[in-house]
Chains A and B, each alone.
Chain A
Amino acid sequence: MDHAVIQLIVSGALMGLVYALVAYGFQLTYATSKSINFGQGELVMLSAFVSLTLTNTGLPYYLMIPGGLLFGVIAGLFVERAGVRLALEQKSEGWILMTIILGLFGISAAENIWGRDDRPFPTPIPTEPIQFFGVSITPLEISVAVGVVLIMVVIELFKRKTLLGKAFEAVSADRDAAELMGISATRTIMLSYGLSGLVAALAGILVSPITTVGPTMASALVLKAFSVAVVAGLESGFGVVIVGLFLGSLESLTSFYVGSGWREAPGLVLLILALAIRPTGIFGKAVIRKV
């Protein structure tokens, strides 16, 4: 393989980590409530815009981050309250439509508040490429990779080591049994949506300096995150990273060899193929139906 191909794979894979992060946001809520936020991409976009606005008020970069993350958490909680809870109470799949609606509202609000144009997102992290064995990577791209891995490790540790995290695992294992043990499923689901919002906000902050910020910045991103989540299975945190890396590089190669208009195609084809061949995902487990 020559350097150009390796270069394509590496930079694609780094982008793939962002897909993995957004897909991880789906997994967090799917674990507790078997629901996901179809407007997750809009959450990424809105958080990026809010962070940009915070930066423009003169807040230093590293102080802006907590602000952006806080917005993500609040937005995530709002989605749970306004779009998901009622449907879960009615045991219906109404949350699909509701979260789509909330996302559409978010796009429209962003278009009118911040305008339809893409804007640059300033970052103090240098963008001059560094050479690693002939492959050039920017510190910015490294910061994305580090950020993604770090947040996922922290959340996984939280889920495994803390009492609240164990409650999270308990609700995802068996909601009714957890309720009988005195764990409030509603609060745990809120927590998962809050965390999912946080993850979305971080994805927005990490990816914006590379992609620029605009109302449609996340519409392609979220489709690929859907693919990653379905292909990996909606249960495996480790799986999304692997599949994210793979899809990112595949896409970068497609875009180079077939044409940039086709760059979305591999993810979409992979998703439909995964459903055809292994509907629970590569790393997913089959569910035992009880009657």
Chain B
Amino acid sequence: MLKRLILIRGIEVLMVLLLASIPLVVNNSFVLGLLTLLAIYGILLIGLDITVGYLGLVNLAQAAFLGLGAYAGALTVTQLGFDMLSALLVSTVIGLVMGGLLAFPSLRLEGPQFALATLSFSALSATVLNEWESLTLGAQGLQLHRPPLFGFVLDSKGFYWLCLCFLGLVWMAMRNLLSSQWGRAFEALRDSPIATDAMGIGTYRHKVTAFALGSGLGGLAGGLYAFNFEYLQPHVFVYELMVILLLGVVLGGRKSLWGAFVGAVLIVLLPNLLSNRLLFQIFSATGFLLALGAGGMALYQKRTKLFQAAAPIIAMGLLVTGSFTVQNTEDWRKAIFALMLFSVVVGLPEGLMGFASRFLSRIFSIDPESFAPPSLLEEVLVRKDVDGAPLLQIQDLKCYFGGIKAVDGVSLTVAAGTIHGLIGPNGSGKSTLVNLVSGLYVPTGGTIQFQGKPLVQGSLFAVAQQGISRTFQNLQLFSELTALDNVMVSMKGYYRSALPLVLMGLAKRDEKRAEADSLALLEMVGLTGQARIPAKDLPYGAQRFLEIARAVARRPTLLILDEPAAGLAHPDVVTLLAIIRRIHQQGITVILIEHHMDVVSELCDTATVLDGGRIIAEGIPEDIRRNPLVIEAYLGKGSEPPPVAAERPGTLEPVAA
């Protein structure tokens, strides 16, 4: 624990001290300029990494936010006479607000639309900065003087230290944010946006907040940029800068503060690298040899495909050839960036820091922090008193897809405190019905009432908020998160601290409580030992159980289990039965969709049978099994009821699966 703290924080402190002391030792304005730019780009890239790294989206607007922040800072100083801090505040707020405004429409869809919207936004902001000449003076450029800070005008050294302070603050705030519920939510929504909504975490609002925060940092960097150069021109903040910024994030390493820092170092040094021929030759030759070595090795060990190994070698080979043959490397600047970025994206997708951290973690093996002792399950899932009153009432519910009537006039009542089975052959409408209740689909007609009130329709998130939680037939785990984080991210009612408090690192108590309570839920499904394993590496049965634990973390009134036994081996089915009974004991009403008739008879108080989108039978499982309509739906006409199953209820032989 202590060793971990010393290693990780120690390196950070050392780096800050080192950076801060350079101007004391080296008295060189060129070096000082580079260092200042490094601090500014560090802030900018940390902001960009939130969208590109954590949300996994291609964001082409960060250069525009830098520009908008720069102009906002500059104009408040020249026009309104603001001092340094208030001007920087304006820059940041402009970034935040514009980022939020852009994110609201463009983050609703998956796919290329977001990248397109950010690209258009960049072009639009460049147009505005260029054309609104009465304010920005257009292409002529805007001159300004560095405003005073608390009455003092900083010289370049002082300003550098100020930028470094901001970088340090941003660094700490981001680390606090990313190690909180927010950070988990960002990763969760990248893995499964549907589950993020169904767990009531909220995909959309986390995306919008993340993008706005990143853009706010872009704005802050812009303000500092303006006060550093004291001269602004719109054409600086264009497409090419955007590509360079992406190069910085990707080459440095996504999802890492250190990666953003390394990326910033790189893009600060890049222009100097290009202007010195020998340096450029050495650099490109090193890149080529690295690509050759890594690619060759990976091919030899059959870890990669030919394209992934060969493409970076070819690209780097072109770079080397170019470094010896072209007359002026400056002319080929864009191609050089393109080749470098191409090689990194294909050959080193985890970036320099991702690559380095694999080695570092081998050398310095640090024990993970120990867990808090798990809470008592009785305290996590406080037993609810249930009275058997109608909890969920569905009236004449319909859902048509074109001509297909997936659910065609279903009316159903689920009593509080029961386990209600929902069975039927494939394509009978069970999953559609559940998707309607949980808000994934909008019904064509009919009403759903929950706890006597109409249920919000067509929003997974809103339904989850009302106390309905579900699992998925095809697993929708947050595959990159650990088992523990999968549960923690879904815990309801634990993360009450406001965002500013989280940024300041004042939400640690929420975290500890959520962790202890999540461990209790993992214990309930028998996964305590696997708490640190990423969900994607768990065995299939364990993944099913983890989904149940995650759904229960919502502490729901109604839990919908969509075919939890599908594909489970016999011993796992036994465990599953025990888990469902345990959950039910705590007063949680369960809707169980199942193919295994025996699981249904074992657990359910009532069962409803669907076929062709309609209800064909309803009652206690014993009667259902003998109902001729049900047997016909499952086995076709002319079949006798299976005598064995009827005589030995409760065994685990599938009647129809």
Chain A residues at the B interface, C-beta cutoff of 8 Å: 30, 34-36, 38, 82, 85-86, 93-94, 96-98, 100-102, 104-105, 107-109, 111-112, 219, 223, 226-227, 230, 259, 261-262, 264-265, 267-269, 271-273, 275-277, 279-280, 288-289, 291
Contacts and interface: CB of A to CB of B under 8 A. Distances in A.
B334 to A, nearest CB: 4
A105 B116 contact: no
B226 to A, nearest CB: 23
B307 interface: yes
A291 B108 contact: no
A247 to B, nearest CB: 13
B121 A86 contact: no
Contact of B123 (A35, A86, A259, A268): A268
22 contacts: A82-B311, A85-B307, A93-B56, A96-B115, A100-B243, A104-B335, A108-B333, A108-B338, A223-B119, A230-B116, A259-B131, A261-B127, A265-B127, A268-B120, A273-B105, A275-B108, A275-B109, A275-B117, A276-B105, A288-B401, A291-B431, A291-B440
Nearest to B326: A112
Given A109-B335, A261-B127, A279-B105, A97 B345 contact: yes
Contacts of A268: 120-121, 123-124, 127
Nearest to A100: B243
Contacts of A279: 105, 108-109, 113
A271 B116 contact: yes
B411 interface: no
B32 interface: no
B530 interface: no
Contacts of A104: 240, 243, 334-335, 337-338
A261 B130 contact: yes
Given A264-B123, A268-B121, 8 more contacts: A97-B341, A100-B243, A100-B246, A219-B239, A230-B116, A272-B117, A288-B441, A291-B431
Contacts of B115: 38, 96
A35 B111 CA distance: 8
Contacts of B339: 105
A172 to B, nearest CB: 14
B643 interface: no
Contacts of A107: 334
A280 B111 CA distance: 11
A108 B111 CA distance: 28
A101 B243 CA distance: 8
B474 interface: yes
Contacts of A94: 345, 349
A291 B311 contact: no
A212 B194 CA distance: 48
Contacts of B331: 111-112
A279 B114 CA distance: 10
A272 B105 contact: yes
B123 A223 contact: yes
Nearest to A95: B112
Contacts of A289: 194, 440
Contacts of A273: 105
Interface in B78-117: 102, 104-106, 108-109, 111-113, 115-117
B472 interface: yes
Tell which of B120, B440, B441, B473 has the most Cβ of chain A within 10 Å.
B120
Contacts of B435: 291
Contact of A272 (B56, B121, B127, B336): B121
A218 B333 CA distance: 20
Nearest to B128: A265
Nearest to A116: B331
Contacts of B112: 30, 35-36, 38, 93, 96
B165 interface: no
B346 interface: yes
B143 interface: no
B561 to A, nearest CB: 14
Nearest to B240: A104
Contacts of B474: 291
B156 interface: no
A94 B246 CA distance: 12
Given A100-B243, A104-B243, A271 B440 contact: no
Contacts of A230: 113, 116-117
B476 to A, nearest CB: 6
A55 to B, nearest CB: 25
B40 to A, nearest CB: 24
A274 to B, nearest CB: 8
Contacts of B108: 275, 279
B444 interface: no
A239 to B, nearest CB: 15
B266 interface: no
Which A-B residue pairs are the 9 nearest by beta carbons? A276-B105, A108-B335, A108-B334, A105-B338, A261-B131, A275-B105, A268-B124, A96-B58, A268-B120
B407 interface: no
Nearest to B334: A108
A259 B131 CA distance: 9
A88 B495 CA distance: 37
A271 B109 CA distance: 13
Contacts of B342: 98, 101-102, 105
A214 B240 CA distance: 17
B307 A86 contact: yes
Contact of B341 (A101, A226, A264, A288): A101
A111 B473 CA distance: 54
B338 A97 contact: no
Nearest to A107: B334
A227 B305 CA distance: 36
Given A259-B131, A291-B194, A105 B334 contact: yes
Given A86-B346, A275-B108, A291-B474, A226 B120 contact: yes
A98 B345 contact: yes
A288 to B, nearest CB: 7
Nearest to A291: B472
A267 B440 CA distance: 33
Given A104-B338, A275-B105, A291-B476, A265 B124 contact: yes
B441 to A, nearest CB: 8
B488 interface: no
B335 A105 contact: yes
Given A93-B56, A227-B120, A279-B105, A262 B335 contact: no
Contacts of A262: 127, 131
A272 B58 contact: no
A30 B21 CA distance: 53
Interface in B335-383: 335-339, 341-342, 345-346, 349
Given A230-B113, A265-B127, A276 B104 contact: yes
Contacts of B105: 272-273, 275-277, 279
A85 B306 CA distance: 13
A246 to B, nearest CB: 17
B229 interface: no
Nearest to B328: A112
